[in-house]
């Protein structure tokens, strides 16, 4: 559920004086941020990491934060920017919209950050966007895919950007893949009814699939953290659909795929970037995942993502997932903007808007100034015998819905 802007402004006004310092990693008065000026003083450029480090979305926020910190570590290890190191002040959005506002307020008002990266999920980014905009501090959202993050009532939000493609692009890609590559004519939607991400993706998939001549013959729902999906899957089995579209996160996806195959469902199962974690194989089993496909931001076999994957594995001793990759992308975008704009929020904002053909962790991106969405490629991955194969690659294209 999203809250109105007035409630967020009120929460922002109250938060600065009430939040306990212990919530934040590295927070504190004095030092480089002393003096209460518009910008941090000294030889550091101070930026905020506002991620869900606790709560229901902690696994997404923590991974995105790790990717972001890696990008900043790399530039600092190389000497910083113009002789200045970038200092990250971390805050915990606690997987709640109101807490995202509180954290953003603290970072802006007390820590004097010149830019924010995070949170990971849509509702929390939308929540913090008003306080950041009011204070003219740019945000880069690594993984918030809902169109409303950057565009509201047909107008682009001047201080809000993202590193990921948006839900309509994912759904359109998978609807076209179902119709043209798999020759599917009948589809079932199986959605997480507790997730705006899942519901938005399902709605657009249905529109695109049926506009292209297919039919959605059944819609079923589950809730995040459910464990037993067999009752709904038994109903889905009776539909005899060619494909089942499950736009959800890997924890539930793995269980759904496993239980579907145990019931004898052999239809292709399709998904989106929420599937993109190696743990899905552990949950579902490699054989169950055969004949499943999902779209995401990069393919680990591509040459231009090898440097990021190697660096992440070296730093964290495990392979990155999509949230880590997008957090890294957001970091590279911010670094590029700081190189252009220095220690000035408005110039950093302009620098993000001007990003063109920038190499980030997942490939190359260009910022669409009309929507503040990156123009970047999409890949469709096939799960085959426990491994991920590149099925198709879609060239970068600007998203629809430019501001009027």
User: What tens digit of pLDDT does each residue of 61-73 get?
Assistant: 999 999 999 999 9
Which of 1-10, 146-155, 283-292, 390-399 comes out lowest in average pLDDT?
1-10
Q: Is the per-residue pLDDT at 1 higher than 60?
A: no
No. of helices (H) and no. of strands (E), the chain: 12, 17
Q: Is the per-residue pLDDT at 31 higher than 60?
A: no
43/193: higher pLDDT: 193
Q: How many CA atoms lie within 13 A of 99 on its CB side?
A: 18
Query: What is the arithmetic mean of pLDDT over 377-403?
Result: 81
Regarding the domain delimited by 167-296, which CATH topology (the fold level of the hierarchy) does it fall under?
Rossmann fold (3.40.50)
Same fold for the pair 5-165+305-375 and 167-296: yes
Phi, psi of 265 (to 5 degrees): -75, 120
> What whole-number distance in Å separates Cα of residue 147 and Cα of residue 170?
12
Q: How many CA atoms lie within 13 A of 15 on its CB side?
A: 25
Reported pTM: 0.84
Query: What is the arithmetic mean of pLDDT over 396-402?
Result: 57
pLDDT band at residue 307 using 50, 70 and 90 as cut-offs: very high
Query: What is the arithmetic mean of pLDDT over 142-167?
Result: 94
Query: What is the arithmetic mean of pLDDT over 270-296?
Result: 94
Task: Kindly list the domain boundaries of the chain, sorted by start residue.
Answer: 5-165+305-375, 167-296
Which of 31-40, 116-125, 183-192, 207-216 comes out lowest in average pLDDT?
31-40
> What whole-number distance in Å separates Cα of residue 74 and Cα of residue 80?
9
In sequence order, what are the residues at sequence separation of 6 or more whose Cβ sits closer than 8 angstroms to the Cβ of residue 3? 97, 98, 127
Query: What is the arithmetic mean of pLDDT over 326-355?
Result: 96
- What pLDDT was estimated at residue 2? 32
pLDDT, one tens digit per residue, over 205-226 is: 999 999 999 999 999 999 988 9
- What pLDDT was estimated at residue 400? 58
What average pLDDT is seen over the chain? 88
pLDDT band at residue 264 using 50, 70 and 90 as cut-offs: very high
Which of 7-11, 116-120, 246-250 comes out lowest in average pLDDT?
7-11
Q: Is the per-residue pLDDT at 30 higher than 60?
A: no
> What whole-number distance in Å separates Cα of residue 277 and Cα of residue 255?
14
- What pLDDT was estimated at residue 195? 87
- What pLDDT was estimated at residue 399? 59
Query: What is the arithmetic mean of pLDDT over 328-342?
Result: 96
Q: Which CATH class is domain 5-165+305-375?
A: alpha beta
pLDDT, one tens digit per residue, over 122-152 is: 999 999 999 999 999 999 999 999 999 999 9
119/300: higher pLDDT: 119
β-bridge pairing 378-384 and 387-394: antiparallel
Q: Is the per-residue pLDDT at 392 higher than 50?
A: yes
- What pLDDT was estimated at residue 277? 87
Per-residue DSSP letter, 273: G
- What pLDDT was estimated at residue 219? 97
- What pLDDT was estimated at residue 398? 64
- What pLDDT was estimated at residue 55? 93
Percent of the chain topping pLDDT 70: 87
> What whole-number distance in Å separates Cα of residue 117 and Cα of residue 125?
10
Residue of 322, 330, 346 lying closest to 118 (CA atoms)? 330
Q: Alpha carbon of 242 to those of 174, 191, 291, 315: distances in Å?
A: 13, 17, 11, 42
């Amino acid at each position: 559920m999203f809250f109105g802007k007035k409630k967020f402004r009120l929460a922002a006004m109250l938060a600065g004086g009430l939040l306990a310092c212990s919530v934040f990693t590295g927070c504190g008065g004095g030092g480089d941020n002393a003096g209460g000026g518009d910008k941090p003083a000294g030889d550091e450029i101070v930026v905020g990491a506002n991620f869900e480090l606790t709560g229901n979305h902690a696994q997404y926020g923590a991974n995105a934060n790790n990717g972001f910190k890696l990008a900043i570590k790399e530039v600092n290890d190389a000497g910083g920017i113009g002789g200045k190191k970038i200092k990250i002040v971390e805050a915990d959005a606690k997987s709640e919209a109101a807490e995202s506002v509180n954290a953003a307020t603290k970072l802006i008002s007390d820590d004097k950050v010149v830019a924010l990266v995070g949170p990971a999920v849509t509702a929390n980014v939308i929540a913090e966007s008003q306080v950041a905009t009011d204070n003219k501090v740019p945000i880069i959202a690594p993984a918030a895919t809902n169109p409303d993050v950057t565009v509201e009532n047909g107008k682009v939000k001047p201080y809000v950007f993202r590193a990921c493609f948006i839900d309509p692009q994912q759904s359109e890609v998978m609807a076209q893949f179902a119709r043209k590559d798999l020759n599917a004519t009948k589809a079932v939607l199986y959605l997480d009814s507790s997730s705006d991400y899942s519901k938005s993706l399902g709605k657009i998939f249905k529109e695109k699939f049926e506009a292209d001549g297919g039919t959605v013959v059944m819609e079923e729902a589950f809730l995040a953290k459910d464990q037993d999906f067999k009752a709904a899957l038994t109903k889905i089995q009776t539909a005899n659909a060619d494909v089942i579209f499950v736009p959800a996160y890997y924890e539930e996806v793995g269980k759904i795929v496993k239980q579907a195959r145990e019931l004898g469902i052999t239809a292709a199962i399709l998904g989106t970037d929420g599937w993109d974690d190696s743990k899905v194989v552990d949950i579902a089993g490699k054989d169950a995942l055969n004949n499943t496909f999902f779209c995401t931001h990069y393919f680990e076999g591509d040459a231009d993502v090898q440097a990021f994957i190697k660096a992440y594995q070296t730093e964290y001793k495990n392979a990155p997932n999509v949230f880590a990759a997008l957090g890294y992308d957001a970091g590279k975008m911010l670094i590029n903007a700081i190189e252009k704009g220095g220690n000035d929020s408005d110039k950093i904002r302009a620098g993000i808007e001007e990003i063109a053909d920038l190499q980030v962790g997942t490939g190359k991106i260009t910022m669409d100034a009309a929507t503040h969405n990156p123009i970047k490629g999409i890949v469709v991955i096939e799960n085959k015998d426990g491994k991920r194969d590149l099925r198709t690659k879609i060239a970068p294209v600007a998203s629809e819905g430019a501001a009027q």
